[in-house]
């Protein structure tokens, strides 16, 4: 039985792969939000480029820009201001 059939609605499903065995696991499933079913496509244009400071996997669908800060501990949280991009160490 599929998860969506079981719940009777579109679901947002998070999967994980075991690095040793290669088995796939369902980590969580929750109802898909109305926002994610929006058919309007937003386009974004990056006005200018700077040096790449960090790379990773995108988890959103937008472009972010701001002053980069490294937050080494919660004691440094005062460095995080509006329009600040931050990365935990």
Give the integer Cα–Cα distance in Å for 4 and 36.
15
Give the integer Cα–Cα distance in Å for 35 and 12.
12
Q: Is the pTM of this model over 0.85?
A: no
Give the integer Cα–Cα distance in Å for 86 and 80.
7
| pLDDT above 70 for 5 | yes
Do 34 and 43 touch, CB atoms closer than 8 A?
no
Give the integer Cα–Cα distance in Å for 49 and 65.
10
Share of the chain above pLDDT 90, in %: 9
| pLDDT above 80 for 87 | no
Residue 86, judged by CB atoms within 10 A of its CB (0-12, 13-18, 19+), counts as middle
- pLDDT tens, position by position, 28-46: 999 887 666 667 777 777 7
What integer is the mean pLDDT of 20-27?
Answer: 90
What integer is the mean pLDDT of 15-29?
Answer: 90
- pLDDT tens, position by position, 61-76: 777 666 777 777 888 7
């Amino acid at each position: 039985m599929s998860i969506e059939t079981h719940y009777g609605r579109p679901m947002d499903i998070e999967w994980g792969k075991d690095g040793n065995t290669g088995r796939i696991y369902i980590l969580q499933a929750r109802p898909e939000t109305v926002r994610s079913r929006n058919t309007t496509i937003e386009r974004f244009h990056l006005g200018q480029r700077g040096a790449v400071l960090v790379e990773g996997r995108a988890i959103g669908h937008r472009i972010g820009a701001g002053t980069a800060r490294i937050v080494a501990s919660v004691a440094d949280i005062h460095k995080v201001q509006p329009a600040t991009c931050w990365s935990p160490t």
